């Protein structure tokens, strides 16, 4: 973030419902051109996402260990909140102001619901 000295804590903000959340998805977490449920984290763990206010899909993709083999899904924050009352919270880190969390993923069916509302911001490469 321009203008903020290095090491300055980033204030936590409320993510508006219309804003987008990005999550990078390795190629191996896709099935027939769609992210598989495993792309949405583990049951009973918070899911890390990036808030579009502070980054682009390409910025999110660059965080992957293998960007060329990785896609980025996007979800609308308000739609995520409607899935079994999931919570979306901004959880900024000093070097990662876009960092946010989806809280409340407690069942595999919730991950399947997230799969249904996610679309590709950047599609991963397809198998040849």
Q: Give per-residue burial for 40-70: e unless 16+ CB within 10 Å, then b.
A: bbeeeebbbbbbbebbebeebbebbeeeeeb
pTM reported for the whole predicted model? 0.91
Q: Please, are residues 125 and 68 in contact by the beta-carbon 8 Å criterion?
A: yes
Q: Other CB atoms closer than 10 Å to residue 101's CB: what's the count? A: 17
List, for the chain, all residue ranges whose pLDDT scores fall below the cut of 70: 1-7, 127-128
Q: What is the pLDDT of residue 6?
A: 64
Domain boundaries, the chain: 20-122
For residue 4, what pLDDT is reported? 60
> Residue 128: what pLDDT?
43
Q: How many CA atoms within 13 Å lie on the side-chain side of 24?
A: 18
**Could you read off the pLDDT of 63-88 as tens digits, one per residue?**
999 999 999 999 999 999 999 989 99
């Amino acid at each position: 973030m321009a203008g903020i000295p290095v090491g300055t804590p980033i204030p936590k903000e409320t993510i508006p419902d219309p804003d987008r959340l990005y999550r990078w998805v390795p190629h191996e977490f896709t099935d027939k051109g769609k992210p598989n449920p495993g792309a949405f984290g583990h049951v009973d763990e918070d899911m890390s996402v990036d808030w579009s206010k502070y980054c682009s899909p390409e910025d999110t993709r660059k965080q992957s260990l293998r960007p060329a083999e990785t896609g980025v899904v996007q979800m609308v924050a308000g739609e995520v909140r409607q899935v079994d009352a999931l919570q979306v919270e901004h959880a900024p880190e000093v070097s990662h102001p876009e960092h946010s969390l989806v809280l409340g993923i407690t069942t595999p069916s919730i991950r399947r619901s997230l799969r249904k509302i996610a679309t590709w911001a950047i599609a991963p490469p397809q198998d040849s």
